[in-house]
Amino acid sequence: MTPTLLSYLSRLKVMINRYTVFLLFLLGYTEILQQNGGLPSLLQAWRLEIPLLLYLYFLLNQLLRKSRLQPLIAAVPLILVYAVFDAYHIMFGRMLRITEITELPEMFQVLPPLAIALAVALLGLPLLTFMTSLEFRHRRTATAIASLPLLTLPLMVEMTPDFFMTAFQETQQEILLYSDTASARNNGRLSMMLYNEARRKSFHDKIAGHQMNPASLADFDNVITGLKEQPKKRNIHLIVLESFLDPGLLKNAQFSRNPAHPSFSKLFAKKGGISISPVFAGGTAQAEFEVLCGAPALREFSGIEFDVFTGAKAPCLPLILSQGGYETNATNAYKPDFFNSTNAYTGIGFEKRYYPQEFASGYDTYFSTGDVTDEDYIFDGVLFSQNLEFITKRIKENPTLPIFNYIIGMYGHTPHDLNLDKRPKVIEMLGKFRDEGLEKAANQYYYRTEAIATFVKGLIAADPQSLIIVVSDHLPSLSGSQTYKDLNYLGGTVEATFRNRIYIIENGHPVRQNTIHHFDIPRIILNYATRGKYCKEHDCNFAAHDTPVAKTAYRHDYLDIMSQAMDAASPIRMIGAKTQCVQ
């Protein structure tokens, strides 16, 4: 055997070993992560994902100078990408999309310093090692040629998204539009990220020509007329709570006492219901979109719908109420620029928008965060007491003008810290399962339920003939979705992690509603405001909505809303009210 052939066989052996080990590692990694809350195993995604990974691994090897660690260093970026996908899924219960990368700065704003330092270390150090090992000088031409296929895919996604989608659908395995997880199982993470971006780009291009159906315009006018016809309009209070977990729904968890405050338990007397959020552990703006706009947050134009709102008028609940004779106010307990809330609130019809004075210099506001020592976020009780004073005064000064009082809280956000001087620990976890974050959340729940009971009683006293809805935006992440499975939260299924508490008080009396979605809440409100007329004319069979297919039935509503919200020169003709900018 000639030396040249021996050399070739030796190189072939090294290459096979390198790529085989890389692929086996990813298969084993994804199989393990699948069992611990991550995305599905890579095993089924052999049509595009596995060839794509092997190609990228080959390309990265070409970029690095030769060394014993070259195979390991070349694998680092790809392993990190997969790790980010799984971490995102474990934390938020959904698959990362390209547009959501732009939201990372906002996510870092609410992370504790230790978590930020850990993320920088876990991502930054390996990437720094990779960057210092790059070598371009000797193989520039070969590397450029090898990179051409890598450039082709994103260019197709950007320039010809429809062609990419068609080719993908014809060559890959089944895409389940209602389940990113199932689609990722069939086709892989990177492949589905490209497909979702092509789908978003395609919809974004087509939405420019979308016109609201004449029947939708007529229905919009009809609902507004129904509101105007009411001889005495009743006030509406909608409170969305950050990460409001009911520990009592964790069947396998044991606590030293009932986590709910006695006044809360007495007030609601087991009248709490369940509402399905579009998100788990993060993405509060997605929950807001659903409870305020009455359509599922489908993420067809952005990972967060609010992020693409321009301030143009969109047919959402606040705008309908405003056109129907209500004063519409939004109280947000965090920063005005967070999740583009100022543009979003303007577009969906809030006439007045209030933020804490600490975050909104120059804005007219009625409340402040107060002392947030050791907790970072304004306590619900502090927020509620200021809102109750504000609303009580407002009702007395102008009792004939109905008000839509919307509140979005921030207390309860990870890491669930408590100021133990103000709110000493009263609940301890018992049994074998211990989770520090859950124990903190349970203690927060005790004080939060006390604050809710005080607030609701105050609202009833000041405004007895009104509708009050208190709902959680989403569940907290705790240690990931596996925690909810281990503790048997509402059956311990993946679907259960999207189920949240909701409490409804009609004219001073708590009422129980069957399981609904967050996007059903505007219909409940409009039915109350029109004294039952709305549901006589529309589908209010909320129980029938609890299927993946049912969400697609609302896609026309979604497109109507997004087409108007994204267009700064919105052609909505029926909306002529001027918005008062509280600034």
User: What's the token pair of residue 141?
Assistant: 């031409």
Instruction: Please list, residue by residue across 498-532, b when 16 or more beta carbons sit within 10 angstroms of its beta carbon and e when fewer do.
Output: bbbbbbbbeeeebeebeebbbbbbbbbbbbbbbee
In this structure, the strands spanning 403-408 and 235-241 are: parallel
pTM value is: 0.75
Q: Is 472 helix (H, G, I), strand (E, B) or coil?
A: strand
The confidence score (pLDDT) of residue 209 equals 66
Do residues 438 and 548 both lie within one domain? yes
Q: Does residue 349 surpass a pLDDT of 60?
A: yes
Do residues 376 and 474 both lie within one domain? yes
The mean pLDDT of the chain is 86
The reply to whether 578 falls in a domain is no
The confidence score (pLDDT) of residue 10 equals 61
Do residues 118 and 233 both lie within one domain? no
What gap in Å lies between CA 19 and CA 25, rounded to an integer?
A: 10
CATH of the domain at 533: 3.40.720.10
Do residues 199 and 220 both lie within one domain? no
Instruction: Please list, residue by residue across 279-317, b when 16 or more beta carbons sit within 10 angstroms of its beta carbon and e when fewer do.
Output: bbbbbbbbbbbbbbbbbbbbbbbbbbbbbbbbbbbbbbb
Using the 3D structure, point to which of 192, 207, 222 is the last residue of a domain: 207
How does DSSP assign 184-243, residue by residue? HHHH-HHHHHHHHHHHHHHHHHHHTT----HHHHHHHHHHHHHHHT-SS--EEEEEEETT
User: What's the token pair of residue 328?
Assistant: 């519409």
What gap in Å lies between CA 324 and CA 224, rounded to an integer?
A: 5
pLDDT in tens, 221-251: 999 999 999 999 999 999 999 999 999 999 9
Lowest mean pLDDT among 78-87, 223-232, 234-243, 358-367: 358-367
User: What's the token pair of residue 411?
Assistant: 């207390």
Question: What is residue 541's DSSP assignment?
Answer: -
Do residues 222 and 188 both lie within one domain? no
What's the distance, Cα to Cα, between the start and end of the chain in Å?
84
Per-residue pLDDT averaged across 472-482, rounded? 89
Q: Does residue 578 surpass a pLDDT of 50?
A: no
Do residues 192 and 231 both lie within one domain? no
The confidence score (pLDDT) of residue 7 equals 58
Q: Which residues contact 101 (CB under 8 A, 6 or more apart)?
A: none
Using the 3D structure, point to which of 207, 242, 265 is the last residue of a domain: 207
Query: Which pLDDT band, with edges at 50, 70 and 90, does 495 fall under?
Result: confident
Do residues 229 and 351 both lie within one domain? yes
The confidence score (pLDDT) of residue 503 equals 97
Do residues 455 and 556 both lie within one domain? yes
Backbone angles phi, psi at 493, to 5 degrees: -90, 165
Query: Which pLDDT band, with edges at 50, 70 and 90, does 1 fall under?
Result: low
CA dihedral 416, 381, 317, 505 (to 10 degrees): 110
Per-residue pLDDT averaged across 3-29, rounded? 74
Per-residue pLDDT averaged across 474-488, rounded? 89
Do residues 315 and 181 both lie within one domain? no
Lowest mean pLDDT among 278-282, 296-300, 350-354, 537-541: 537-541
Helices vs. strands in the chain: H and E counts, helices first: 21, 11
* Contact of 505 with 460, CB cutoff 8 Å: yes
The reply to whether 81 falls in a domain is yes
Domain that holds residue 301: 214-565
pLDDT in tens, 258-302: 999 999 999 998 899 999 999 998 889 999 999 999 999 988 888
What gap in Å lies between CA 350 and CA 319, rounded to an integer?
A: 7
HSE value, Cβ hemisphere, 13 Å, CA-based, for 27: 12
The reply to whether 106 falls in a domain is yes
The reply to whether 498 falls in a domain is yes
The reply to whether 581 falls in a domain is no
The reply to whether 583 falls in a domain is no
What gap in Å lies between CA 84 and CA 95, rounded to an integer?
A: 10
The confidence score (pLDDT) of residue 444 equals 97
The confidence score (pLDDT) of residue 130 equals 85
The reply to whether 570 falls in a domain is no
What gap in Å lies between CA 196 and CA 213, rounded to an integer?
A: 26
Do residues 289 and 226 both lie within one domain? yes
User: What's the token pair of residue 72?
Assistant: 């390991």
Number of domains composing the chain: 2
Lowest mean pLDDT among 254-258, 276-280, 359-363, 464-468: 359-363
What gap in Å lies between CA 461 and CA 457, rounded to an integer?
A: 6
User: What's the token pair of residue 77?
Assistant: 């970026």
Using the 3D structure, point to which of 138, 172, 207 is the last residue of a domain: 207
Backbone angles phi, psi at 213, to 5 degrees: -60, 135
Per-residue pLDDT averaged across 481-494, rounded? 90
Structural element, H or E, at residue 343: helix 341-348
One-letter-per-residue 3-state SS of 389-449: HHHHHHHHHCCCCCEEEEEECCCCCCCCCCCCCCCCCCCCEECCCCCHHHHHHHHHHHHHH
Decide which of 308 and 406 is more confident.
406
* Contact of 292 with 367, CB cutoff 8 Å: no
Q: Does residue 123 surpass a pLDDT of 50?
A: yes
Which amino acid, 79?
Answer: I
Per-residue pLDDT averaged across 69-86, rounded? 91
Backbone angles phi, psi at 415, to 5 degrees: -100, 25
Query: Which pLDDT band, with edges at 50, 70 and 90, does 570 fall under?
Result: very low
* Contact of 200 with 300, CB cutoff 8 Å: yes
In this structure, the strands spanning 509-511 and 499-506 are: antiparallel
User: What's the token pair of residue 214?
Assistant: 């004449």
Per-residue pLDDT averaged across 517-537, rounded? 95
Do residues 334 and 441 both lie within one domain? yes
The reply to whether 576 falls in a domain is no
Do residues 178 and 264 both lie within one domain? no
